[in-house]
Amino acid sequence: MATISRPAYVLSAILVFAILTFILLPNFNAEPPSLGTQAKKGRKEYTAPKQNVFAELTAKEAEDVNEFLFEDLAHLNLTKTPKSNRDNFVFYLETLRPNKTDALAYLHGSSEPPQRWAKAILSEYRDDGPYMAHYMVSLPITSKSKTLPLTYVFNSGSNAVRIPTLDFDGLFGVGQSIAANISDITLELLGAEINLEKPEAPDGLLCWPRPAGIERGGQVMWFQIFKPGIASGARTLLPQGIYAKVDANSLFAEEWTVEEYYYNGQLYDTADDFRAAIKKSDFVRAPRNDDGPWTATEDFDSQPDGRELPPPVSVQPYGPRYKLDRKQQFVSWFGFEFFITTAQATGVSLFDVKFKGERVVYELGLQEALSHYAGDDPVQGGLEFLDTFLGMGKLMFELIPGYDCPAYADFLDVQWHQLYETNTLPNSICLFEYTSDSLLSRHTAQYSVTTSRNTYLTLRSTSTVGNYDYTVEYIFYLDGTLEVKVRASGFIFGAFYSANSSKTEDLYGHHVNEGLASSMHDHVINFKADMDVAGTANDMVRLAIEPMTKSYPWDLPEIKQRNTMRLVEYPVTEETFLDWPRNGGEMYIVYNSEEKNSWGERKGYRVVPGTGIASPPHLTIENSTTLGDGARWAEHDLWVLRRKDTEPRSADPLNYFNPHDPIIDFTKMANHESLQHGEEDDDYDGDLTLYLNVGSHHVPHSGDIPNTLMHTSASSVMFIPHNFLDRDASRESVQGVRLQLKGNGASGGFPGDIGDTRPGGDDDDDDNNEDLKARLRRRRRATALDKERRPEAKYFGATYEEGMKLGVEEFEPVLPQQYRSYENRVTDLGFNGSAAGVWFK
């Protein structure tokens, strides 16, 4: 086995960015960004009815907590300038969100907000190595403040997770050393070698470890060589097919050794064995996978017919119809009300979502984003990502007005606190109203036609996690429907296309370029939906649509039995999973246990697959050897659990470090407890939490080169009112028109029109004692008048009637002036993108 020597050069700060950069915090006191100027014209100041008790720490709060921890945890000898994982330091801070029981007491009753706490994650060096440990600190900081181990939100029995290596910053050096030691081989087979002075040189190579769940306690890693692809950013399209297995049993990278090499279906015990094999006449070389125009995502030169003209866009000339309190991050729109908050690991979450004054969802937010691959090489064969480990909130970069969101959208900044600094991500969330190209409803009667526009509100963010951009949307519809939707775009994580005789990569994907194959993988993205349908006392039922044969007395004697169908309700009586039913043969409904509408029906919300390309999937791989117990929530579509303050999440970013004994084990949460409230010796009150998955079974094909497209990768779940109100709520707020066609006014006329025979119409007068002949004469007169008049239209809701002048920036924003991001980080998918070198600046 070869000992790995570390090259003597300074590690790049960009490539060794941050180990567990998880928590992201909004700037509630920031000035509004200079985007969506037209949308702000004439806007009245709006104030939320309550304080946002879920708001992330302000910069001042974070500063106070950092200073307090140095005093209160003096025995740890914390440092503000860590040099390695041997130092103890405060890694990041965020808000510890209040328990639901306390938050509801304030939001729907008490005048005093709940006690505010900060969560502090510290890097601690202990006798057996480095740990990441969680603490809670009471706010505001006073002489009475205290620091406690944060344990109650984890079911592992500990507030800390051991880091499997002391030297994550050394991973980059190890990879470069591997490539340098076989530079003659890489030059022979790949036509390139490592550039130790400029490791990201476009004509050089890089060597990275497989960023998968750490097996055998993190003691074995496979490294793969890539070309930088720095010009296009297409590194994950440029694997080079040479792999090295490293024994990483030691905490110290300089003690790691290379165990074997792999190339084109063959294993070699040493580099010399590899060199000797190349010289043999029967050695088979794989095609090279070189960068080129094929990885470029843009074509600036082509001009097919029509490209010389800009496409249609949406405008908002009269300003927004929603109300936004920027300081409290509170939104109100046509009956919907909700708070916004963010976290570095998981991005945007919503709290206290109400419709028509009644709470529907207490909490709706991302928990984890998993991608799990399959393949025939040492990297693809065990590749998986848990993206909150990389920080889906911290990687919410600035949105582009006019492209990511309409030019008139409101854009919100986000902050996060790490290593004693507050960082701002400008314009990383957008809020806007939009009108679909399809109607909400329409109907044509004999003499009239009615149409209603489908207008909805969208809250959107995009997280760039290495090779993928995930766009997360919360969409609100006028009828009370709420949708959570995820779209993906970006470069696939490709596999090297070998030239060996077995060609087993054909089992896992397609040949998509000269030296590149695609790798099938599952995207399973988990969301928490703490349902509170008209209150916390809820029941979950499966309302099945089933065939049956039944005899009806009115059919006899002609038909003895009729084949038909019926509804059968199956209560969900214990914590369990549900998969989307075959043929859509069941409805999953969350009912309020006590509240009913005017017709005696229980108030409910139905949970259904949304507007994506297919039913959202769950993980195909069974009992993943890589994931262990780190993501059991991914094995089914939907989970129904008791809500508990001690189970606020289905996953934790630190599960990545120890998936076989995770700090949050979902199997301990979904443990078949009873969901039947009101039973003796049980204090369960009916408060349900759903954990549901969106995503896709992704089999990349040639159309995914160079980028996967968002419209073919969208997936969503919708929450739809089910007897929640007495009628369709959108009737009150929708915009539309009723067009009265030329013809008999007795059919489909407007209330009060001559000839209107509907209740309340002109012919429905209880005090009118006209005889039949008089009524017929009135009808004939009305018909004659109807033949003479032209079709009429009546609008419900406002119409555009005043002239307006819009600047060109409302159609095409001047991006060099309006796009103000200063972020220039390069995200990667190795430990260096999340777990290494946090002490480097």
What are the pLDDT digits (tens) for 310-329?
999 999 988 999 999 999 99
pLDDT for position 823:
58
Residue 213 within any structural domain of the chain: yes
Quote the number of domains for the chain. Answer: 2
Of these residues, 261, 268, 468, 477, which one is catalytic? 468
Residue 254 lies in a domain: yes
Final residue before a domain boundary, out of 273, 293, 313: 293
Give the H/E segment covering residue 6: none
Six-digit token pair at 206?
A: 């890089």
DSSP string for residues in 457-485: EEEEEEEEETTEEEEEEEEEETTS-EEEE
Residue 476: name the closest of 336, 316, 589 by CA.
336
Sign of CA dihedral 105, 107, 113, 115: positive
Q: What is the CATH number of the domain that holds 250?
A: 3.10.450.40
What's the CA gap between 437 and 434, in Å, rounded? 10
Tell me what pLDDT residue 715 has. Answer: 96
Please, is 675 exposed, middle or buried when counting C-beta atoms within 10 Å of its C-beta (0-12, 13-18, 19+)?
Answer: buried
The string of pLDDT tens digits covering residues 458-498 is 999 999 988 899 999 999 999 999 999 999 999 999 999 98
Confidence at residue 27, expressed as pLDDT on a 0 to 100 scale: 36
E strand or H helix that includes residue 816: helix 815-818
**Tokens for 120?**
């502090």
Burial class (CB in 10 A: 0-12, 13-18, 19+), 633: buried
Say if 507 falls within a structural domain: no
Residue 26 pLDDT greater than 60, yes or no: no
pLDDT reading at 798 higher than 70: yes
pLDDT number for residue 679: 72
835 Cβ contact partners less than 8 Å away, ≥ 6 residues apart? 18, 19, 20, 163, 168, 389
DSSP three-state, residue 600: coil
- Residue 743: per-residue pLDDT: 62
Among 266, 293, 320, the domain-final residue is 293
In the predicted structure, residue 42 carries a pLDDT above the cut 80: no
Q: Please check the confidence at residue 760 and state whether its pLDDT lies above 80.
A: no
Please indicate whether residue 516 or residue 754 has the higher confidence score (pLDDT): 516
Where b means 16+ CB within 10 Å and e means fewer, 123-148 reads bbbeeeebbbbbbbbbbebeeebebe
In terms of residue numbers, what domain contains 770? 742-790
pLDDT band at residue 252, thresholds of 50, 70 and 90? confident
Confidence of residue 254 (pLDDT cuts 50, 70, 90): confident
For the segment 153-172, what is each residue's pLDDT rounded down to a tens digit?
999 999 999 988 777 767 88
Residue 166: the pLDDT is 75
The pLDDT tens digits for 291-304 are: 999 999 889 999 99
pLDDT score at 16 = 29
CB 392 within 8 A of CB 469: no
Mean pLDDT of the chain: 87
Catalytic site includes residue 605: no
Which residues, 6 or more positions from 833, have their beta carbon under 8 angstroms from its beta carbon?
A: 17, 18, 390, 466, 827
d(CA 118, CA 116): 7
| The pLDDT of residue 627 is above 50 | yes
DSSP one-letter string for 690-737: EEEEEEEEE---GGGSS-B-GGGT-EEEEEEEESSSSS-GGGGT--EE
Residue 215 falls within a domain, yes or no? Answer: yes
Q: Give the tens place of pLDDT for each residue, 499-550.
A: 776 767 679 999 999 999 999 999 999 999 999 999 999 999 999 999 999 9
User: Which entry of 167, 376, 377, 387 is annotated as an active-site residue?
Assistant: 387
Classify residue 206: in a domain, yes or no. yes
Closest by CA position to 407, among listed 761, 37, 137: 37
The predicted-structure confidence for 370-391, as pLDDT tens digits, reads as follows 999 999 999 999 899 999 998 9
Residue 568 CA to residue 570 CA, distance in Å, equals 7
User: d(Cα 528, Cα 548) in Å, to the nearest integer?
Assistant: 36
Task: Pick the range with the lowest mean pLDDT from 663-677, 697-711, 771-785.
Answer: 771-785
Residues 6 or more apart in contact with residue 827 via CB below 8 angstroms: 17, 390, 395, 464, 465, 466, 833
Is pLDDT above 80 for 567?
yes
Among residues 263, 293, 323, the one where a domain terminates is: 293
| Residue-level pLDDT at 574 | 97
With H, G, I as helix, E, B as strand and everything else as coil, classify residue 809.
Answer: helix
More confident position, 104 or 208: 104
pLDDT per position as a tens digit, 200-248: 788 889 898 876 555 555 578 899 999 987 777 888 999 999 999 998 8
pLDDT of residue 581 exceeding 50, the answer is yes
Token match 């000339």: residue? 317
Task: With respect to residue 582, please indicate whether it lies within any of the assigned structural domains.
Answer: no
Selection from 563, 565, 569, 564 nearest residue 544 by Cα: 569
Query: Could you please report the per-residue DSSP string of 283-347?
Result: PPPPPP---SGGG-S--SS---TTTTSPPP----TT--SSEEETTTTEEEETTEEEEEEEETTTE
Sole residue written with tokens 């009475």:
144
Residue 294 phi/psi, 5-degree rounding, is: -65, -20
Locate all alpha helices (DSSP H) within 51-182, ordered by sequence: 59-72, 100-107, 170-181
Please indicate, yes or no, if residue 363 is contained in any of the structural domains: no
Contact 166, 129 (CB under 8 A): yes
CB contact set of 226 (below 8 Å; sequence gap of 6+)? 205, 206, 207, 208, 235, 236, 238, 239, 240
pLDDT value of residue 12: 31
Active site residue 470: no
Answer whether residue 189 is part of any domain: yes
Q: What is the pLDDT of residue 238?
A: 94
